[in-house]
Amino acid sequence: MSDIPPTMPPGGWAGPGYRRPRTRWAWLIGGAALVAAVVAGVVIASSVDHSTPARNVVTRVAADACSLVTRATIDTYVRGVACEAKLNSDTLKTASWYPDPGDYQHGYVSLVVSLIVLSDGVDPVASFEEEKEQVPTRPSPSPHSILRDDRPVIQLGDDAHVFYWESNDQPDGATTFGDAEIVVRVRNVMVTASHGGYVRKNDNETAPVSQQDAEAAATAAAKDAISWVR
């Protein structure tokens, strides 16, 4: 818990508003045998598995970016927050739900979901492993982020892994934010979803989004997104 002005998010390092989620990615597909992922300024080169079977390869996901997550999930975890589609092609989608600047009376929670359809010839398992390895190493807006959990998730897609961070920028070292991110692969489609922030207990006290709540939200959003994989 920490003392926070009632209309401002904690964390001056975060700039105007708390825009922390780590899942903003853009993928550049070049040639027949290389995919480069630009994730938070980090470029990841994926290896190619020429033995990957062509059957059941996904070529597109028809859903609009903001439709990747169901209304039930949005109302449960980011009620009243409008969606913004950052990327919205058949093979690359990113949608985010951030509170409006200054609208922090009840706290600050956000949700970001990204989906990419990997091109034929790219090894999806290797791409998932690379993404999983890169997530904990990305720069954080807070200089005081601590990775509290990092584990595989069973019975979700073909592969899944979840992470949970706690962050603070308070002089007393009190935890300010709690954030979860999950990475999921279904065939040659990868989805990342992140949720977190802080909730306001009263005019002067806040608490980080708990690991249970952050992971539940990220997992629900990822499940919604992979349900579009046909």
pLDDT digits (tens, 9 = 90+) for 134-166: 888 775 656 678 899 999 999 999 999 999 998
Q: Which residues contact 77 (CB under 8 A, 6 or more apart)?
A: 109, 111, 195, 213, 216, 217, 220, 221
Residue extents of the structural domains in the chain = 2-48+58-226
The pLDDT of residue 201 is 82
The neighbouring-strand residues paired with 185 are 159, 190
Cβ atoms 209, 198 nearer than 8 A: yes
Q: Which residues contact 227 (CB under 8 A, 6 or more apart)?
A: none
pLDDT tens-place string over residues 17-50: 344 444 444 332 332 222 333 232 223 333 334 3
The pLDDT of residue 51 is 44
Cβ atoms 212, 195 nearer than 8 A: no
Q: What percent of the chain has pLDDT over 90?
A: 52
1: pLDDT confidence band, cut at 50, 70 and 90?
very low
Does the pLDDT of residue 7 top 50, yes or no? Answer: no
186: pLDDT confidence band, cut at 50, 70 and 90?
very high
Q: What percent of the chain has pLDDT over 70?
A: 70
8: pLDDT confidence band, cut at 50, 70 and 90?
very low
The pTM of this model reads 0.77
Cβ atoms 215, 180 nearer than 8 A: yes
